[in-house]
Amino acid sequence: MITMALAGDVMLGRGVSRAVRNMAASDPWGDLLPRLAAADLFIVNLECAITDHDRPWSRGWKRFHFRGGPHVLKVLAAAGVDAVSVANNHTLDFEEQGLFDTLAHLDRAGIGHAGAGRTLADAAAPAWLEAGGQKVALIAVTDNEAGFAATPTSAGTHYLPVSPSRETLAYLADLIASTRRAGADLVVFSNHWGPNMVDRPPAHFRAFARAIVELGADLYFGHSAHLVQGVEIHRGKPILYDTGDFIDDYAVDPLMRNDRSFLFLVTFDGQRLTRLELIPASLSFARVAIAQEPERATICRRMKALSAELGTRLDERDGVLLWVAEDG
């Protein structure tokens, strides 16, 4: 039995980087810290470079450049983050040097990473984790920021447009199969995909995620929209279309409410999904906390409705949302 905690965008740059200099390392995680400590693994999307290199990306226009100093690693360590996706549209915000620094800092901290590297082969390589006697592989891709894409001879991200093409699916089938052959008991497929502020996955995203599950992934871990989207159980496997934001300094949209999110706890018995628990979370500047009433009820009501549209019933129990396998 293994329980993985997953959270969406953790952006430790800009205002967060400044704020955490004067915080205890555990402060940004608030009262969610005990729930994180109880999980066997914790995986997030790292939505910034970790570097002192201060030259921003200059090979194309970019509105936002996110960079945290090496001191932000203490925040990841305090929550026991085991691995991060670095396949996203901010990993190279401070050029290749920023990427290389990020990977080096993560390596020194003992935090796994997937989705970017010195070559395409490096970027495509999974991060390997172990817990509960099982080997877990994290594969990470993104369809954001084509200019960041790695090539066979240059650094960048594991860039992959969302496409049902035979070529794309064959590539992913080979990648997932080779990861299984390398010893993975569970395969987590992370995708930083789509535009911001979209509250439902479009039909072609749903088709793509289902195809990835059918190719052998055990868990689809989506992020990028800054909003949590509904969850779907497909062939007994969870699809988290978008896990929203988790730590950041972002402006809050008063209608879309990107300051409302969830911590996702996914439990497997072997390769069988037995339980999915969603803990409602409320975000403030550089901090996250368990949502309190009446906000908690509002967050849960929205997620129940969005998931119901995808054919997934979530029950509310003791302040959280639950899906439990019928024979679990």
Give me the mean pLDDT over the 186-200 stretch: 97
210: left (phi over 0), alpha (psi -120 to 50) or beta: alpha
Per-residue pLDDT tens over the stretch 240-259? 999 999 999 999 999 999 99
Task: Give residue 328's pLDDT.
Answer: 55
Query: Sorting pLDDT into bands at 50, 70 and 90, what band is 201?
Result: very high
Q: What is the mean pLDDT of the chain?
A: 97
Task: Decide if 204 contacts 283 (C-beta within 8 A).
Answer: no
State yes or no: pLDDT of 61 exceeds 90: no
Give me the mean pLDDT over the 262-291 stretch: 98
Query: Sorting pLDDT into bands at 50, 70 and 90, what band is 234?
Result: very high
Give me the mean pLDDT over the 266-288 stretch: 98
Q: What is the pTM of this model?
A: 0.96
State yes or no: pLDDT of 180 exceeds 70: yes
Task: Give residue 29's pLDDT.
Answer: 98
Task: Give residue 217's pLDDT.
Answer: 98
Of 247, 286, 244, whose CA–CA distance to 262 is shortest?
A: 244
Task: Decide if 202 contacts 224 (C-beta within 8 A).
Answer: no
State yes or no: pLDDT of 177 exceeds 60: yes
Give me the mean pLDDT over the 24-48 stretch: 98
Task: Decide if 11 contacts 66 (C-beta within 8 A).
Answer: yes
With pLDDT > 90 as the criterion, what percentage of the chain qualifies? 97
HSE at residue 96, side-chain half, CA atoms within 13 A, is 13
Choose which CATH entry (2.40.10.10, 3.40.30.120, 3.60.21.10, 3.40.50.300) describes domain 2-324.
Answer: 3.60.21.10
State yes or no: pLDDT of 130 exceeds 70: yes
Of 252, 232, 241, 238, whose CA–CA distance to 295 is shortest?
A: 252
Tokens 């693994």, residue?
41
